[in-house]
Structures are given as structure tokens and as C-alpha cells.
Amino acid sequence: MIAMSSRTALVTIYLLLATFIPSSGQAPQNAQAQAAQYTRLAEQYLREQRPDLAIPELQKVLTLDPSNVDARGNLGVLLFFRSDYKDAVPQLREAVHLQPGLWKLQALLGLGEKALGDSAASQTDLQAAFPHLNGEKIQMQVGESLIDDYTAKEELGKAANIVSAMLATDPTNANLLYMSYRLYTDLAGKAMLTLALVAPNSAQMHQVMARELARQNQNEEAIANYRAAIKIDPNLPGLHTELGDLLLNSDSTAEQAEAESEFKAALALNPKDEQAELELGMAETKQGHMNAAFADYSRAVEINPDDGLACTELGKLLADRGQSQEAQKMFERAVRLDPTNDIAYYRLAAIYRREGNTQEAKEQIQLYLKYKKMRDAMEKIFDDMRDMPPQSARNNDKGK
């Protein structure tokens, strides 16, 4: 459950208490005055870091004014962080009942219920509180508790949604990134197994097999499965583009030449297939058809202005045509979209250097070297694992 020092716990308590809304409960005048005195004593003891003395004062407040949400919530928090879940849960539950919307209290209530073994009530309260804890420290603990519950019930989709929400507020958290990898891998495996059971000879099954084989760098076997899928259903979305990607990055010049026809087939089915448009441009670049490639990259950026790779490829051709200002705009957009885009930094450095902006050029080179080193390390890891993600060619250096 929760493990922290007493000082950390008290800081957390103060943060929680600061969010509570004072009670609207009414008590007789003399009782109110006495309750206020007990409240002041409780606050004093908390300032002195003596929650053991604050708890009895809050209990006295509730004896006089049972509907005092502030006192009841504060008492529940103090008991919770003392690991007295049996006594904390009723206080927290009543506070939430009296005043719905106290999301941190409801989160603690759910965690307390889980500690007591009441999984149904816990999940209900944690589910209600989680969406309202965006960016809060307690969000992590509530999210992990929900993920444990969902994975135990094999509700992997729900667990993955929780991880995605947590990553939105903490995108570099290694634990969350691993958890996301694990969950989505398990989801993919479950879907693949189900597909194999219900439609073993379908185009979709061949497409799944092709993607898995490509992940393992078994490209020839992957290509064979894509061809089998196309034979079964040539109009299945994604097939021609994915096959074209493998062909384009094949060591065989014949297969590289064939990639162009696959991208064109994909665009015939879906003229707004931005990836097919982008990779068609790459195929035509390899063939030396630069005007056609320029048109393809321009169309790809038009379809999806937020594709940093498309912006980078278009920027290269603009630079080669001497259109430095337009190229600069493309590279600057590319690094805004993907701050790790080392190729765009390299190209920007060249433009700034030609403009005489040596300081800016130097900064871009430093960024280029930084992110190239990171990308090289990442590619080595994938190469060592022999588990390169499908369509990884989109992230490969297409040449400076």
C-alpha cells in the first residue's frame, strides 16, 4: 500500500486538507464555538506534526457536528496515513457521501477499501476518482491499483487506457513505459490468438503474421504473407502500404522497384493514405525521379501537416532546389513536431551557416549530435534484440 516517512505523510496530508471545502453543516451556537476550539487545536497539532493529538480533537468536532465534511475528511486522511484503514474508510466514505466531488478523498477511500479487501467498492471509487487526478501525485497510486485489478480480470484494454492517461502527464516515466509495452504486447498477443482461432485463413491473419515476421527481421517470409493476404483481399486497408514499405527497404533492387506499384495501389484505394504518399516519394527519390518525389512529399504534407518525416523529406528537396526559406520552415516544423529529429537539425545548421548565423548553426549541430547519438543507441538495442518494430524505416536516416 502506501509507504512513506511521517514527514512526507504530513506534507501529503496538508496538501489534501488544503483542497477540502469547509463544511456547510449547522450546529447550535454553543456547540459551534466548542467545535471551532477543537478544530483550532487540531490545526495546531498538525502544524506541530502531532497527528496523534489532532485525531482526538477532530473526533470531538464530529461528536458535536456529525455533518462537518471538513473534519470528517481530515480525520479520514489522518487515519489513512496511519494505516488505520478500518477506521479511515467510514470517515472518508461519509465525507464523499456528504459532499461528492472530493476526488482526492474518494481516491484514498478506494485505496483504503482495497487494503481491507473490498475490491468491488474499491474499483468503483478508484474509477470515479482517477479521471479527476490528472497530474496529481496520487494519480500514480490510483492508476497502478486499477491496472492491477484490470489485469487480474484480463481486462487488458481498460488497463492500457489507464496507462495511456498516466503517460500523458508523465511521458518519460520508465515504469509506465514498460507497463505500456507489456500491456499492449499482451493485447496484441491475445488478439492474434483469437484471430487465429476464428479466422485462421483470412487476409487479416496473413497480415498479422507478416507484421510479426517483419518485427523479427524475417522480411522475405513477411513479404510472402503480405502477398498471400493481397491475393485473398486486395482491398484490405494497409496491405499495399505495408508490403511496399518492406519492398522499399529490401536489399533486392527488383523488390525496391516493385514498391512503387504497391504505394500507387494503396493510393488508388485511399487517396488520403499519407504514409503511402510519403513512401511513394521515397521510392521515386531512389529512382531519381525528383519532380515526382517533390509532388508526393508536398501531397503528404498537405494530407498530414503534422508528419515530421514528411516535412523533413520535403525540406530536403526544397533545399536542393535552392528554396532555403521554404526548406527552413519545413525543418523548423519538423523539429517542433519531433524534437529528436536529428536530420532536421543537421539541415537547419547548414541553412543557418549559409545565412551567416554561425551561433544558431552551432546550436543546431549540437542538437544533431545529441539526438543522433541517442538514435544510434536505440537502433543498436533493436538490432541486438533482432526485434525491430514494423515500418521502422520511417525513422531511418534517409540520407543527409
Q: Is the dihedral of CA 239, 242, 248, 249 positive or negative?
A: negative
Q: Which three cell numbers stand for residue 381?
A: 538495442
Domain boundary among 304, 321, 354: 304
Q: What are the tens digits of pLDDT across the range 263-311? A: 999 999 999 999 999 999 999 999 999 999 999 999 999 999 999 999 9
Instruction: Return the half-sphere exposure (C-beta side, CA atoms, 13 A cut-off) of residue 341.
Output: 26
Amino acid at 42: A
Report DSSP letters for 30-50, one per residue: HHHHHHHHHHHHHHHHHHTT-
Over pLDDT 70: what percentage of the chain?
89
Q: Count other C-beta atoms under 10 Å from residue 310's C-beta.
A: 29
Higher pLDDT, 13 or 212: 212
- Quick: pLDDT tens for 366-393: 999 999 999 888 888 877 775 544 444 4
Distances (CA, A) of 285 to 32, 245, 276, 294: 81, 14, 14, 9
- Worst-scoring range by mean pLDDT, 34-38, 54-58, 85-89, 149-153? 34-38
Residue 135: the pLDDT is: 72
- Read off the pLDDT of each residue in 208-220 and give the average, rounded to a whole number: 92
Whole-Å CA distances, 15 to 4, 9, 103, 111, 365? 15, 10, 13, 18, 44
Say if residue 196's pLDDT is above 80: yes
Q: How far is the C-alpha of 101 from the C-alpha of 91, rounded, in Å?
A: 15
- Average per-residue pLDDT in the chain? 88
- Kindly state whether residues 294 and 317 are assigned to the same domain: no
The whole-angstrom separation of Cα 142 and Cα 84 is 18
Which of these three, 304, 332, 363, is where a domain ends?
Answer: 304
pLDDT of residue 132 exceeding 60, the answer is yes
Q: Note whether residue 174 is domain-resident.
A: no
Cα separation of 121 and 109, whole Å? Answer: 9
Provide the grid cell at 234: 486486395
In a domain, 166, yes or no: no
The predicted pLDDT at position 22 comes to 44
Return all residues near 196 (Cβ < 8 A) that are at least 6 apart: 205
Distance of alpha carbon 131 from alpha carbon 134, whole angstroms: 6
How many residues in total does the chain contain? Answer: 400
CATH number at residue 248: 1.25.40.10
Set of cell numbers at residue 231:
491475393
pLDDT at position 19 is: 43
Q: Cα–Cα distance between 68 and 91 in angstroms, integer?
A: 11
Amino acid 379: pLDDT: 81
Cα separation, 5 vs 139, whole angstroms = 19
| Residue found by looking up cell 492508476 in the block | 143
Q: Please tell me the predicted confidence (pLDDT) of residue 25.
A: 46
Contact 345, 364 (CB under 8 A): yes
Q: For residue range 309-323, list pLDDT tens digits in order.
A: 999 999 999 999 999
Structural domain that includes position 254: 199-304
Biggest CA pair distance of the chain: 94
Do 36 and 146 share a domain, yes or no?
A: yes
Mapped onto helix, strand or coil, the DSSP state of residue 235 is coil
What's the pLDDT at 28? 53
Query: Which set of grid coordinates corresponds to residue 267?
Result: 493510393
* Percentage of the chain exceeding pLDDT 90: 75
What is the mean predicted confidence (pLDDT) over 3-8?
Answer: 39
Number of independent structural domains in the chain: 3
Q: Is residue 160 part of a domain?
A: no
Domain boundary among the residues 128, 153, 178 is at 153
Coil, helix or strand for 138?
helix
Instruction: Answer yes or no: is 342 within a domain.
Output: yes
* Statement: residue 100 has pLDDT above 70: yes
Retrieve residue 390's grid coordinates: 514494423
Q: How much is the CA Rg of the chain, to the nearest whole Å? A: 30
The stretches of the chain forming alpha helices (DSSP H) are 6-17, 29-47, 51-64, 69-81, 85-98, 103-115, 119-129, 138-152, 156-169, 174-198, 203-215, 219-232, 239-248, 253-269, 274-286, 290-303, 308-320, 324-337, 342-354, 358-385
* 72 and 107 part of one domain: yes
208 in any annotated domain:
yes
Question: Does the pLDDT value for residue 395 go beyond 70?
Answer: no
Instruction: Give pLDDT, residue 318.
Output: 97
Same domain flag for 231 and 253: yes
Domain identity same for 291 and 315 = no
As a whole number of angstroms, the distance between CA 384 and CA 377 comes to 11
